[in-house]
Structure 1
């Protein structure tokens, strides 16, 4: 399931590469849509006690541990983030069933009961790869145990500070989303940019990302203002942006709730015609599309095309809708299953295979890991319309050559 594409390739080579990508996508669709027997009661299974919890064996084929790769899934399947964590765990089970994979033993360890205990148990149990954790503040704790043990991690976090040294981030990275939407806006004639970012580590990184993206696109960065999420700070930031000079596009690097509260403040402050831009955080918040003030706003994100089909399958099996983040769980299993074809049981996980320059295809489209542990994704630009997000600029056909 690889996708090979180069935006810098000659036309003939580009057509051949894209044909390969389409065949890979078709193969993925066949696996994804394949019928399989359910081994989980409708509604799913929440662990009734402490971890670990093993995923069912696809096809009811029972293999000995000596015949299977041991992979740990570190997620919060209880507590405040339990719904999201359980949805990702369910997605990994669905992927194992859809691929009918029998040589991977997936075991879930509940990080909500203590991340240190979870990772130590996972390593002691002999797992050769860790999928997770979900929360950024858990990545370092897991890495501190996993790295000395020689166990690589594919984390669902987007904390770029944790990447590297066999820690790979499958989470959607905000710098790519910001860069994609800024470049698209510049191509549509928007040249003078403003920004609203939260007072947080995420906000500081977004500030740097926006600065670099505007400069790289050849635009002018007029002003960036920080907010703490309160109405007073949002109003003050809006007034400061207006006072800084003419602005024709404002990027709000925050979640949908904050964006919905910020747009009216921008309009009141005088930025009545400024194009509103955002990040892929908006793609997990349906209220953005349904809010009248957000109509016409642009943001860059992974495609939702395959996710819609996946969501239907998920609902049919588990009796509820999946978290938008759960696609990472499904894609992580597709990735491991692909690598496991040449992975000898009992040996270390072949980390070098993760950085295949051609990348991989999953529910969220084309992606690949770079040598620094970060992921690169082919993103599309979406527009918030009446109750829905509509693709206005499709994802590129592939990747430029890795540096």
Structure 2
């Protein structure tokens, strides 16, 4: 590739305001991002040896709140005027120098005619507008999360972006068909990067179109099955979480690990990964159960899983034996056993519980009820626990460990989000915040840009509120995760997340 394509050619444009729906929130202007073409082969990964990731951390302490509030008010006024004349069911809303009737016949586009979906070298065009496209469900299924993700992106923009970036927002309507329709419009507008969609089905549906147009996609899905070259999944991958928590447990001398997982895609994947990592560590799962809350009696499953009846019988036999003796030692032993329901621990010293939400708050107390004592048996979880309300209020989870990003920066982000937008953001909205930070970083004039995927898959990675992350050549991602412990005062980090990537991707 020529030297012209070795650096980002960022051209200044007038401020461009874009709207995405009838909300009286500020869905603002934004940006120019050149991710115009991508190489068929990635540059050779360099040895990292503790190389620091590129810092895209939010300037959470210095955000210009007055500026954000002022723009929200201006945008609300603009929405009020445009609502009289605009069809808000249109999937792409554009103002100023962008066409209000974006092309839908993408077959006439040179990029659309690349049916092989290969990312090829090309010289960046200094005279061509460049944009970031956003694909989110702003109506239909998932609209609440979609709107929160959009607010998170706006917040990230005001933390780090400049005024020469343009954001094009498209509504997927929460369906693969809606995503396909919307991505066609983004392609016709010649965006350089797409952030979204939210769901794996929509990601899979748009992937052929985006690849044919040579536009990289950073989806918020955590399903590796929809990842491929040029289509990246940015969600928290279950595999990494299970590997991280189990390796830490083995390091802390837990050797008899059992798994109690939901009978769904997440649970089955977690169980498969658990089998693999225990095998690599010359261990094995001593017990495993996949449960279905809709069809199975969870009480009976937990009772059998914990060997409650066998241990209860063991206690009964021990008491009977002691009662036959009349010495003081036996009497003291009987006194100690009087407060027990069972004798001895279950056949495991740790239990993997990858489920979250209401399921976790159902299963964990049942384990305690059937005498799986959390003071002796360690419960192990995934980042789904981050989304459990009242996690530290559940006695059966005290002392439990789970793998997730370190919470410090995310909590600052969430506080800033709530202060500005007036509601608490959903846990996963931080993905949208970090994705926008990443998009802005890729557009930075200070960053070496080679016009291809090698920049996006920089092996040193990026850092945001959810810690370090790097996008891999196969479309998956790698994150630095911490180990958190649940306590009565909340969760605390007991094993730090890595601050660098030490191996090539």
With normalisation by structure 2, the TM-score equals: 0.68
The higher radius of gyration belongs to: 2
Map 1:1-400 to 2 at 5 A.
9=49, 17=51, 20=52, 28-30=57-59, 33-35=62-64, 37-38=67-68, 39-41=71-73, 49-53=89-93, 68-112=129-173, 114-230=178-294, 232-243=296-307, 246-272=347-373, 273-341=376-444, 350-386=452-488, 388-400=490-502
1:360-392 superposed Cα distances (whole Å, 9 cap, x missing partner): 111111111111111111111111222522111
5+ residue gaps, structure 1, are 1-5, 57-64
Question: 1:176–1:233: structure 2 CA closer, same or farther, 3 Å change rule?
Answer: farther
- Confirm or deny: 8 A CA contact 1:370 1:402 kept in the other structure: no
In structure 1, distance between residues paired with 2:75 and 2:245: 38
* TM-score, normalised with respect to structure 1: 0.84
Contact 1:129-1:151 at 8 Å conserved across structures: yes
Relative to its length, the structure with more helix (as a share) is 1
Structure 2 CA distance, aligned partners of 1:66 and 1:332? 26
User: CA RMSD for the aligned pairs?
Assistant: 3.3
Cα distance in 2 between the residues matched to 1:299 and 1:162: 26
- The Cα shift of 1:238 comes to 2.2
Q: Which runs of 5 or more structure 2 residues have no equivalent in the other structure?
A: 1-45, 97-125, 311-345
Q: Whole-Å Cα distance in 2 between the matches of residues 319 and 43 of structure 1?
A: 16
Evaluate the alpha carbon distance shift between residue 43 and residue 82 of structure 1 in structure 2; reply closer, same or farther with a 3 A threshold. Answer: farther
CA offsets, 1:64-91, max 9 Å, x none? x967521111111223422211111111
1:104 aligned counterpart, secondary structure = coil
- The number of aligned residues is 378
Distance of 2:353 and 2:141 partners within structure 1: 26
Contact in 2 for aligned 1:43/1:319 (Cα 8 Å)? no
Partners of 1:188 and 1:231 in 2: how far apart?
36
Q: Which has the higher contact order (CA 8 A, sep 6+)?
A: 2
Partner secondary structure for residue 428 of structure 2: helix
Q: Deviations over 1:157-195 (max 9, x none)?
A: 100111112111110111111111111112222111111
